[in-house]
Amino acid sequence: MITSLLDTDWYKLTMAQVILHQYPDVKVRYKFICRDRSIHFPEGFDNILIEHISHLSSLNLSSSEKKWLLKQKGMTKYFVDWFSNYRFNPAELNIEVNHGKLEIDIEGSWLTTIFWEVPLMAIISELYFKRQAYNIPPSKMIMSSQCKKYELTIPFADFGTRRRYSFKSQDILVDTMKDWRYFIGTSNPYFAKKYNVPVIGTYAHEAIMVMEAIYGVQDSNKIWIDTWRNIYGNLYSIALADTYTTEFFLKTVDKERLMLIDGLRQDSGDPIKIGELIVNHYEKIGIDPKTKKIVFSDNLNPESATKIYNHFKDKTNPVFGIGTNLTNSYELSHLNMVIKISGVLINGKYYPTTKLSDDPMKRIGNKNILSNLEV
């Protein structure tokens, strides 16, 4: 199901390069969370999953993949050489199925464990649908993709690797969309290379969660933005705003930093309300919202993305990352699952991490972490 180290999300590589240079000794834990408690994983699913995972340790960059990676903006030879020697280590995982619930814990160096999330979720998703005896023929995959051509007249990227129906479905999808006028690229480096389309991505919540564990929540967003810019300058300059709510981000990240970055990514909460919050804040501090982007990426479909675009097209520059509803849009109930950082090793003990999404249902960890702060 996974045949290349590049079959992942681009932000795993961009974050890993920052970690290699700045945080190579940080150790972390991740935990698998299935938000839909009605999902039942059959007995033996863990053994099948482990069998597929064991294959990952044999993967390494091919010479053509290494050449492609070296050509990507911001990728240093130092990192690409390091990644060329990277191998998945299944010993970092503990996987079990207990009473129908899939339990996965990951522990080790942040630099190496960061790569597990995306292929693990893609394998789990594909295995789940195969076990459910769903069999979508390629003709229907193509038809589903082609139908969307006439709905997506907005700038959008494919963000669908983690919860895709299958590798083949995403392959067909990117191949179908690569020549569309409004398609701006994919977050999957493998398909970006294969179809010569732009690779899209910046960083994920885990980066800010680790910063909070090391430095405290007050400065977590600012420290990561500064660290990021030390590596990439003005490249990949979209900040993720909702790790500890977008309101907190806007109160703690100053105008100078907001001017330096290209825009913000909205990934939870009501997109219209959050988008308006961002636009109004830009106007309040003297930044023209039309000079900035808002990347909307939370559980979008063509209809919802178009509605958001029409609302903001004259106020700012809306861009869209559409995931599961592109790569798993076959009237099936996709798996509502995540793999999140659960702890960071600080002075010999694991510090529990927190994520305070703009959607209360997605919050994990210490929900009172902001209560004693003066912002």
SS3 344: strand
Q: What is the CATH number of the domain that holds 228?
A: 3.20.140.10
Instruction: Give the list of residues 6+ apart from residue 235 with CB closer than 8 angstroms, or none.
Output: 73, 74
User: CA-CA distance, 62 to 5, in Å (whole number)?
Assistant: 9
Q: Is residue 368 part of a domain?
A: no
Q: Is residue 366 part of a domain?
A: no
Same domain, 305 and 221: yes
Same domain, 183 and 292: yes
Same domain, 285 and 157: yes
Beta bridge pairs of residue 83: none
Same domain, 211 and 302: yes
Q: 85: which 2 tokens?
A: 């020697």
Full residue range of the structural domain in which residue 115 is found? 10-135+332-352
Same domain, 99 and 233: no
Q: Is residue 276 part of a domain?
A: yes
Q: Is residue 319 part of a domain?
A: yes
Q: Is residue 298 part of a domain?
A: yes
Same domain, 87 and 151: no
User: CA-CA distance, 101 to 50, in Å (whole number)?
Assistant: 15
Give how far the C-alpha of residue 308 lies from the chain's centroid of Cα atoms, to the nearest Å: 21
Same domain, 85 and 228: no
Q: DSSP secondary-structure letter at 102?
A: E
Same domain, 180 and 163: yes
Q: Is residue 253 part of a domain?
A: yes
Q: Is residue 174 part of a domain?
A: yes
Same domain, 21 and 128: yes
One-letter amino acid for residue 3 of the chain: T
Instruction: Give the list of residues 6+ apart from residue 113 with CB closer than 8 angstroms, or none.
Output: 28, 30, 92, 106, 107
Same domain, 257 and 172: yes
Same domain, 183 and 91: no
Same domain, 165 and 31: no
Give the ranges where the chain is alpha helix by DSSP (H): 10-22, 45-56, 63-71, 77-84, 110-113, 117-131, 138-149, 167-177, 189-195, 205-215, 220-232, 246-252, 255-260, 271-284, 302-312, 324-327
- 165, 136 contact by CB (below 8 A): yes
Total domains in the chain come to 2
pLDDT tens for the chain, 375 residues: list them: 899 999 999 999 999 999 999 999 999 999 999 988 888 898 899 999 999 999 999 999 999 999 999 999 999 999 999 999 999 999 999 999 999 999 999 999 999 999 999 999 999 999 988 876 556 665 565 555 554 555 678 999 999 999 998 898 899 889 989 989 999 999 999 999 999 999 999 999 999 999 999 999 999 999 999 999 999 999 999 999 999 999 999 999 999 999 999 999 999 999 999 999 999 999 999 999 999 999 999 989 888 999 999 999 999 999 999 988 877 766 566 788 999 999 999 999 999 999 999 999 889 999 889 887 766
Q: DSSP secondary-structure letter at 144?
A: H
One-letter amino acid for residue 173 of the chain: L
